[in-house]
Amino acid sequence: MEIVTSRMDQIRTLVNEMIFNMDSSVQRHQASVHLYGVSSYASILALKRGLEPEISAIAGLLHQFYYYKTRIAHYPGVNSAETVRPLLRDLQIFSKEEQRSILQAIFYQDHLMQVHDPYDEIIKDAVIFHQYVQHIDQPVSPSSALRLVNTLNELSISINHINIDEITATDSCIHCNIIDKRQGLANIAEELAGQVVVGISGDQRYREICQYWPDPEIHKVLQGNWCAAFVYHCCMLAGIVLPIRYPSGKYRLAGVGAMLEWSQLPETGFFHHDKEYSFKPERGDIVIYEKLLSDDSHDHVGIVLELDDDTILVAEGNKDNENCSDIVRRSRSHCILGYIRIDNEYLYSFNGIYDPIL
């Protein structure tokens, strides 16, 4: 007799396997409470609002998948959506419309000041409601307070008072005390590349470079092809915090092509062609090579340390495809496509429409 497994059971199995592989019992408990709690509240809100509880419950169960898999907290919406996108696709149990609904609900979870599609709003409200119930004596952020009040009223739950966390202008001034991130980027890259990191799983430094990418066997996947992952890692350490994939991008930022694409977006405009008029490369710029190691365009990348009229000193991961990092001096007239100069005040933000690749 064939046993039919529900779609929800298949997602639970996926999540439970991820939780089982976490390092400690405390982490496993926290992940279970949070993911299953949000999933349950999302299902209740869907029933209340006349929507499909299964889709809401699945989105709730997956909404922090990236964080609990990698323990990296940056950009939970975009990173979790990108992590589960291929998983949902490969299960082949959801229509494209269902996949899109689940992924959008995950993606927009932290866009609290905007109103999106009904399933997106369910996940936002379920996350806030779960957080409130679990920490009922703690203040609620101003961006969450109105949503929480509306959700409590919707569920006919009466409360006397909600403590709102007062945020001062000083606390929220994210542009105060801007540091020179590009100098920090160069310093970090110089130190790390000089250690001669080897692209094997036994090298802890290489594992740290790979930690952002949630794919199975990622150490083997990137082996011999991790120059962009090295740059991404250095950016993250320098405070240039990026999602694993820009929402409108064709590829993840572990690849040179994705970095080049991101740097040429209208909202960034960081790319400068080699020998571009009035542009002079500096320490902390990112250099994109053109057919340096292969016949492929933009086939290598590194971080500029110093330069003179004829040469450039660069910190590179996977130097010359030799599967190790190093500091190398190259000719400025040979195989350079251009440079990426990231603005020191740059903060990732996406205000477009998320349309996942299915």
pLDDT of residue 163: 80
Give residue for tokens 């080049």.
Answer: 260
DSSP code of residue 75: -
Give residue for tokens 């400068």.
Answer: 272
Decide: residue 91, CB within 10 A, 0-12 exposed, 13-18 middle, 19+ buried. Answer: middle
Question: CB neighbours of 191 closer than 8 A, spacing ≥ 6?
Answer: none
Could you tell me the residue ranges of all domains in the chain?
A: 7-154, 181-340
| Segment holding 14, helix H or strand E | helix 7-20
Per-residue model confidence as pLDDT tens digits over 3-18: 556 999 999 999 999 9
pLDDT of residue 140: 86
Provide φ and ψ at 295, rounded to 5°: -90, 5
* Sequential pLDDT tens for the chain (358 residues): 445 569 999 999 999 999 999 989 999 999 999 999 999 999 999 999 999 999 999 999 999 999 999 999 999 999 999 999 999 999 999 999 999 999 999 999 999 999 999 999 999 999 999 999 998 888 888 888 899 999 999 999 988 778 887 654 444 444 445 589 999 999 999 999 999 999 999 999 999 999 999 988 899 989 889 999 999 999 999 999 999 999 988 899 999 999 999 999 999 999 999 988 889 999 999 999 999 999 999 999 999 999 999 999 999 999 999 999 999 999 999 999 999 999 999 999 998 899 998 8
Q: List Cα–Cα distances, 47 to 51, 109, 120, 177, in angstroms.
A: 6, 19, 15, 47
Provide φ and ψ at 79, rounded to 5°: -75, -40
Per-residue model confidence as pLDDT tens digits over 244-294: 999 988 899 999 999 999 999 999 999 999 988 889 999 999 999 999 999
- CATH number assigned to the domain covering 7-154: 1.10.3210.10
Task: Report d(CA 167, CA 145) in Å as an integer.
Answer: 13
Task: Report d(CA 356, CA 250) in Å as an integer.
Answer: 10
pLDDT of residue 346: 94
pLDDT of residue 275: 86
Question: CB neighbours of 259 closer than 8 A, spacing ≥ 6?
Answer: 228, 231, 232, 253, 286, 288, 301, 340
